[in-house]
Amino acid sequence: MTNKSSHQTGLDNSWSIGIDLGGTKIAVAMVDASGQVLEQRRLATRVSEGPIAIQSEIVDAVLELRKYSVSKPVGVGIGVAGQIDPVSGTVRFAPNLDWRDVPIGNVLRNALDMPVFVTNDVRAATWGEWIHGAGRECDDLVCLFVGTGVGGGVVSGGRMLAGCSNTAGEFGHITIDLHGPLCNCGNRGCLEALAGGWAIARNAREMTEKDPETGAALLRLADGRPERITAHMVTIAYREGDPIAAKIVGTATEALVAGAVSLINALNPCRLILGGGIIVGLPEIVTLVDHGVHKRALASARIPLQVLPSRLGNDAGVIGAAIMAMRELTMDDPLQGPESTD
Amino acid sequence: MTNKSSHQTGLDNSWSIGIDLGGTKIAVAMVDASGQVLEQRRLATRVSEGPIAIQSEIVDAVLELRKYSVSKPVGVGIGVAGQIDPVSGTVRFAPNLDWRDVPIGNVLRNALDMPVFVTNDVRAATWGEWIHGAGRECDDLVCLFVGTGVGGGVVSGGRMLAGCSNTAGEFGHITIDLHGPLCNCGNRGCLEALAGGWAIARNAREMTEKDPETGAALLRLADGRPERITAHMVTIAYREGDPIAAKIVGTATEALVAGAVSLINALNPCRLILGGGIIVGLPEIVTLVDHGVHKRALASARIPLQVLPSRLGNDAGVIGAAIMAMRELTMDDPLQGPESTD
């Protein structure tokens, strides 16, 4: 193999295990040095069973995948939807998993007898897009992932930003509309409260309850029960020309343009990469955001800018986690990005 | 001298010249390796006379300062209120100076026969605060300067961010209020359009014209002519309990809290440093922003955070520009910050 990625890791036939642990599903994958997923398992996250059961399921999935290769993996990388202590690999707080202070790094290390590297799930996905996705060979980029929640990552000057307590990238909680709708975080008008999947579903439920006639298409998808409306249903109804869905998607897109403009003006990336479930469901949002930011961002910041969809889609997290593990475990200055291998 | 700063530059008795070139004034200073201003000249910026005259005035001021020392300065650093090409040192665009493509780096180099390093004025001020001000010995900080305009800088993981085309830090143009007032940049609800000096003055003029009775204090300060009201007059009227000034300062503070929350959640700095003319005029804003962000930012980001006023005040720009020149001209890996000397 002679591509840039395998050159970067310096290990031609090496592979590692990437894990993406979210509030609804877990992905566990064998990933080679070129960022290819060789094998993958997907499980539902049984949050109610608690951290011991979930960690045990992850261990089983890793052991199963190991059987596919005679060579040993370099290590394990895991991205968790929560705040991570970068030194100990402990999950400090993961609201969607209902975890506090779960030492998943040590648990997996002991159970698997392999080196384990823990990070945040969105940070892992940013690594994936940076090294093997839409951000390849770019030193300054911002990833914005719009799923149930909204988050992202920043690479600046060829380095991934971590922040003071390792929580940089909480783009869902930048204020877009000072007097806007209430967010889960307690603040008003956050990007996530206007464009996140949970907010899209909330708005659709409220509007359908108020006006069931106009909301007929959404109600049909939800078997007549507004409380069952999901963001996914909104994307389907939008395709069918449903007026409520059109209004909600319009609001979300307007907020995403404003949020993107903020990030572009503040950070001046060469590329803005959009991913996550909402973008996968409504890929035309990428074009709308592209047009919007090229009208509204400062000329100095928008001229060099490209707006691109995620290239790795749902695999960004496992690929990024696996790559981080490979870099962390095989390099002198592991987490500084591609330039550090020069 | 044994302090950290002189150790960092590696040149104990060295000094350099720092220049801060803004749309209203120019400061030219001798700065030693510990960040002390030894001598300083301040001039008005005569924008209407054009770039050749302004550059010539700067050259004269530098030559005058050189007479104060028998030793030669290491070089010249200049921070310009505009967008800078970091390689050539040319000012690409400086709206407040009405400059486009002015090769100030080459002009000063030729006229002074000294190494010259050119950067953006706010970036220079961030360097000043980082190395010798409120950001000392901190690897993750955000500076937010609120003057006539609003801008700032980010240090993350011990590195100053530049961005794709060297314009990172345009915090004045993050969207705070999607449907808010029009900004100079053409967008709506930018932080600058709510909290910048020009917006404060605009709001005061409009409100006083509409309601001269309530605006009596402001009108008195402006000799009865609302069009003469400045942001500085608003800060004076605010001290006197004027209700219009109180309302405008309240709006600006609310916007600054929202903007600070956005930056804190997105970038997770250890310190947020507030400076600029509006903060100098109304230092209580620092406490109000501190309280606001500690209520509204995400717990994970606000727990490690300190909110501090600028320590160098108006000298941040000249000190920062001088330091950048010293680092740029005496180090192998100059612009990577303090850790690069380890």
Q: pLDDT tens digits for B283-338? A: 999 999 999 999 999 999 999 999 999 999 999 999 999 999 998 877 655 455 55
Q: Pick from B253, B246, B261, B236: which is nearest to B195 by CA?
A: B253
Beta-carbon separation of A177 and B177 below 8 A: yes
* A48 has a chain B CB within 8 A of its CB: no
* B10 has a chain A CB within 8 A of its CB: no
Q: Is a pLDDT exceeding 50 seen at residue B341?
A: no
Rounded (5°) CA angle B335-B341-B342: 140
Q: How far from the centroid of its chain's Cα atoms is residue A274's Cα?
A: 10
Structure tokens at A266: 């503040």
Of A185, A259, A268, the CB nearest to B167: A268
- Looking at the DSSP bridge assignments, the partners of residue B274 are B144, B309
At a CB cut-off of 8 Å and minimum separation 6, what does A180 contact? A188, A189, A190, A193, A194, B178
Q: CA torsion angle for A100, B303, A96, A127 (degrees, to 10)?
A: -100
Structure tokens at A41: 């398992």
Beta-carbon separation of A296 and B261 below 8 A: no
Could you tell me the pTM of the whole model? 0.92
Res. B191 pLDDT band, cuts 50 70 90? very high
Range B189-217 average pLDDT: 95
Of A170, A186, A254, the CB nearest to B301: A170
- B214 by DSSP, 3-state: which? coil
- A171 by DSSP, 3-state: which? helix
Task: Give the end-to-end CA distance of chain A in Å, rounded to a whole number.
Answer: 19
At a CB cut-off of 8 Å and minimum separation 6, what does A60 contact? none
Distances (CA, A) of B116 to A10, A110, B59, B137: 40, 56, 12, 26
**How many Cβ atoms from other residues are within 10 Å of residue B254's Cβ?**
18
Beta-carbon separation of B166 and A268 below 8 A: yes
Of B161, B176, B297, the CB nearest to A267: B161
Residue B3: per-residue pLDDT: 40
* B250 has a chain A CB within 8 A of its CB: no
Domain boundaries, chain A: 4-129+314-341, 137-310
Q: Give chain A's largest Cα–Cα span.
A: 63
- ipTM of the modeled complex: 0.92
Mutation test of the interface with chain B: which of A122, A265, A305, choosing the one with the most B Cβ atoms within 10 A? A265
Of A170, A177, A300, the CB nearest to B266: A170
Amino acid at A20: D
Chain B 131-150, CB below 8 Å of chain A: which residues?
140
Find the length of chain A. Answer: 342
Taking the C-alpha atoms of residue B177 and residue B174, their distance in angstroms, rounded to an integer, is 9
- B180 by DSSP, 3-state: which? coil
Q: Are B129 and B273 in contact (CB under 8 A)?
A: yes
Burial class (CB in 10 A: 0-12, 13-18, 19+), B181: middle
Residue A28: per-residue pLDDT: 98
Helix axes B243-267, B231-239, angle to 10 degrees: 110
Q: Is a pLDDT exceeding 60 seen at residue B47?
A: yes
Chain B 59-118, CB below 8 Å of chain A: which residues?
83, 92-93
Helix axes A231-239, A197-210, angle to 10 degrees: 70
Q: How far from the centroid of its chain's Cα atoms is residue A177's Cα?
A: 23
Q: Which chain A residues are closer than 8 Å to B176 by Cβ?
A: 175-176, 178
Residue B333: per-residue pLDDT: 52
Q: How far from the centroid of its chain's Cα atoms is residue B126's Cα?
A: 7
Sheet containing A83-84, strands listed edge to edge, beginning at the edge strand earlier in sequence: A83-84, A91-94, A99-102
Burial class (CB in 10 A: 0-12, 13-18, 19+), B44: exposed
CATH architecture of A4-129+314-341: 2-Layer Sandwich (3.30)
Of B161, B174, B189, the CB nearest to A157: B161
Chain A 51-70, CB below 8 Å of chain B: which residues?
none
Residue B23's φ and ψ, nearest 5 degrees, are -75, -20
Range B38-53 average pLDDT: 96
Q: pLDDT tens digits for B12-34? A: 678 999 999 998 899 999 999 99
Beta-carbon separation of B304 and A164 below 8 A: yes
**How many Cβ atoms from other residues are within 10 Å of residue A187's Cβ?**
23
Do the domains B4-129+314-341 and B138-310 sit in the same CATH topology, yes or no? yes
Q: Which chain B residues are closer than 8 Å to A95 by Cβ?
A: none
Burial class (CB in 10 A: 0-12, 13-18, 19+), B227: exposed
Sheet containing B15-21, strands listed edge to edge, beginning at the edge strand earlier in sequence: B37-44, B25-32, B15-21, B76-80, B116-120
Which segments of chain B does DSSP mark as H helices, in order? 4-9, 50-66, 104-112, 121-132, 191-195, 197-210, 216-221, 231-239, 243-267, 277-281, 284-296, 299-302, 316-330
> CATH number of the domain at A137-310, out of 3.40.50.620, 3.30.450.40, 3.40.30.10, 3.30.420.40?
3.30.420.40
The CATH homologous superfamily to which domain B138-310 belongs is: ATPase, nucleotide binding domain (3.30.420.40)
Residue A95: per-residue pLDDT: 87
Looking up tokens 């609003």, which residue turns up?
B150
Taking the C-alpha atoms of residue B105 and residue B102, their distance in angstroms, rounded to an integer, is 9
* A289 has a chain B CB within 8 A of its CB: no
- A340 by DSSP, 3-state: which? helix
- A15 by DSSP, 3-state: which? strand
Q: CA torsion angle for B320, B321, B327, B333 (degrees, to 10)?
A: 90
Beta-carbon separation of B268 and A162 below 8 A: yes
At a CB cut-off of 8 Å and minimum separation 6, what does B9 contact? B33, B323, B326, B327, B330
Of A171, A176, A268, the CB nearest to B266: A171
Beta-carbon separation of B178 and A258 below 8 A: yes
Residue A340: per-residue pLDDT: 38
Residue A70: per-residue pLDDT: 86
Per-10-residue mean pLDDT for chain A, 342 residues long? 40 85 94 95 96 97 92 95 92 92 97 95 97 98 96 97 96 97 94 96 95 92 95 94 95 98 98 96 97 96 96 97 89 51 35
- Looking at the DSSP bridge assignments, the partners of residue A152 are A144
Q: Is a pLDDT exceeding 80 seen at residue B339?
A: no
Mutation test of the interface with chain B: which of A123, A137, A150, A262, choosing the one with the most B Cβ atoms within 10 A? A262
Sheet containing A141-146, strands listed edge to edge, beginning at the edge strand earlier in sequence: A159-160, A150-156, A141-146, A271-275, A306-309
Of A167, A265, A300, the CB nearest to B268: A167
- Looking at the DSSP bridge assignments, the partners of residue B78 are B19, B118
Range B232-260 average pLDDT: 96
Q: Pick from A37, A14, A67, A5: which is nearest to A317 by CA?
A: A37
* B184 has a chain A CB within 8 A of its CB: no
Taking the C-alpha atoms of residue A274 and residue B186, their distance in angstroms, rounded to an integer, is 25
